Amino acid sequence: MCTFSFFPFLRAQSRGMIKCKKCNQVEFIQKSGIMRGKQRYYCKSCDYHFTIGDENTPQEPKRHHEVTIMDIARQLGISKSTVSRALRGHTDIHEGTRQMILDLAKELDYEPNPLANALLKRRTNIIGMLVPEFRHYFFPTIIMGAQAVLSKAGYNLMIFQSDESYETEVANVKALLRSRVDGLLVSITGKTENFDHFRTVLQKEVPLVFFNRVCPELETPQVIIDDYSGAFQAVEHLIEQGYRRIAHLAGPSILQIARLRMQGYVDAMQKHGLPMDESLIVYHDLTEENARLCARHLLDLPQPPEAIFAVNDPSALEVLLLAKQRGIKVPQDLGIVGFSNDPVSALIEPSLSTVDQPVWEIGEQSALLLLEQLDQPRVETKVLQTRLIVRDSSRRKG
């Protein structure tokens, strides 16, 4: 209904009456291509290119942003340096000024932005933690122990789980590194044979502490338990109970904990002059299904074992369950000892003998060791003690 005549500026534009943004002249304007969809003009007079923008679009009112150190400075008419000093508790600042700043900061509910800080200082105050699994009580408890120490020291925890997959482990380490964590707490999978991803960590000088499942090739601080003597005691206990044909449900031999427990088993057998039967040693990869298979394999043996020492409680439990299912009497006809003292071991019937390890403390000590590394890189190995707990699954004397 309305015609152009009512909108002179529209007419001007529609007829090419474009004014130069600089000199406001019209006669020297010519088109000069299209710029992201908009017509572009060129003023010969002042040698200036321009497009007709939406300068009239109501500029949003300085988008919502959180209160910064600059806001405080502006309101107080001082510089951001001074505010920073006051907030950081620095010296070189007047007591009155500091109070002013502190008061306003509280009033505005100012929270320092850790991102800006991290960018500048190159430390995120985040510790990365990588565990193989979450299913049983073991690793969650370690995490709790580590978190107690770390959060007291002002660090947050970023947790990943590799799910016993080497590929996931590699990917997780990469992700952790990308996130610029200040340090790493790691327990490897049962399948990790190549340690290049950890070499990268070391090369980037990111502090790295292994716990429980440690890396045998790398010179790094670590927290382990006395696997060997734990295993030795367990097997010796079985021998004392009169079991002779003792099997070992072992872990993957690439894991140091598995090798040491195996060695304890072997040495205890030899010490008591018992013959080593290779067929009584089976390896599993620490997954639940695989443990079940191995348990079946052992009990299906033409000449089944009289007792089984398992590398950890979850696998010992699989043996126990299968035995119960088949009506095999534990401990009379089959002795079982596990490793790690999972709470379930005490609840099940018959209760499971096992080797106790200070799980929470593993977490604590790992965290403490890592905290040390942040100051002073120094390779150290902490060894925590184990303790045999004899329960019903292996007690057939006294």
Partner DNA sequence: AAACCTATCGGGAAGGTTCTCGAAACGGGT
Partner DNA sequence: ACCCGTTTCGAGAACCTTCCCGATAGGTTT
323 Cβ contact list (under 8 Å, min separation 6): 299, 330, 334, 336
Asked whether 144 and 159 are in contact (CB, 8 A), the reply is no
Query: For the packed helices 256-271 and 227-240, what is the interaxial angle rounded to 10 degrees?
Result: 40
Q: Which of 117, 194, 253, 385 binds DNA (CB under 7 A)?
A: 117
Question: Does 344 contact its own copies by CB under 8 A?
Answer: yes
Nearer to DNA among residue 153 and residue 346 (C-beta):
153
Residues 6+ apart with CB under 8 A from 289: none
- The length of the chain is 398
- Say if residues 129 and 175 touch (Cβ distance below 8 Å): no
Q: Which residues contact 393 (CB under 8 A, 6 or more apart)?
A: 316, 320, 330, 331, 335, 336, 337, 350, 351, 352, 353
From the list DNA, its own copies, none, partner contacted by residue 2 (C-beta under 5 to 8 A by kind):
none
Work out how close the CB of 260 gets to its own copies at its nearest, in angstroms, rounded to a whole number: 27
Among 5, 56, 61, 77, binds DNA (CB under 7 A): 77
Q: From the CB of 254, what's the least distance to its own copies, in Å? A: 25
- The nearer residue to its own copies, 151 or 385, going by C-beta atoms, is 151
Residue 93 interacts with, from DNA, its own copies, none (CB under 5-8 Å by kind):
DNA
If the CB atoms of residues 198 and 283 are measured against its own copies, the closer one turns out to be 198
- Tell me if 109 contacts DNA by CB under 7 A: no
Query: Residue 12 class from Cβ within 10 Å (0-12 exposed, 13-18 middle, 19+ buried)?
Result: middle
Looking at 21-29, 115-123, 223-231, 332-340, which segment touches its own copies (CB under 8 A)?
Answer: 115-123
User: Per-residue DSSP letters for 82-114?
Assistant: HHHHHHHT-SSS-HHHHHHHHHHHHHHT----H
Span of 117-125, 168-176, 214-222, 289-297 interacting with DNA by CB under 7 A: 117-125
* Residue 337 binding result from its own copies, DNA, none, given CB thresholds of 5 to 8 Å by partner type: none
Dist. CA 69–CA 71, nearest whole Å: 5
Is residue 120 near DNA by the rule CB under 7 A? Answer: yes
Residue 155 C-beta: closest distance to DNA, Å: 17
- Position among 30, 134, 167, 377 found at the interface with its own copies (CB under 8 A): 134
Q: What is the CA radius of gyration of the chain?
A: 34
Peptide bond into 350 cis (omega under 30): yes
* Contact call for residue 329 and DNA (CB under 7 A): no
Distance of CA 300 to the CA centre of its chain: 40
- Shortest spacing between CB 103 and DNA, in angstroms: 14
Q: Does 82 bind DNA (CB under 7 A)?
A: yes
Residue 258, both tokens: 């598995």
Exposure of 118 in the CB half-sphere (CA atoms within 13 A):
12
Contact residues toward DNA (CB under 7 A) are: 30-35, 39-40, 48-51, 53, 65-66, 68-70, 77-82, 84, 87-88, 90, 92-97, 110-113, 115-117, 119-122
Q: By CB under 8 A, name the binding residues for its own copies.
A: 66, 111-116, 118-119, 124, 126, 134-137, 140-141, 143-144, 147, 151, 156-161, 175, 177-180, 204, 317, 321, 343-344, 347-349
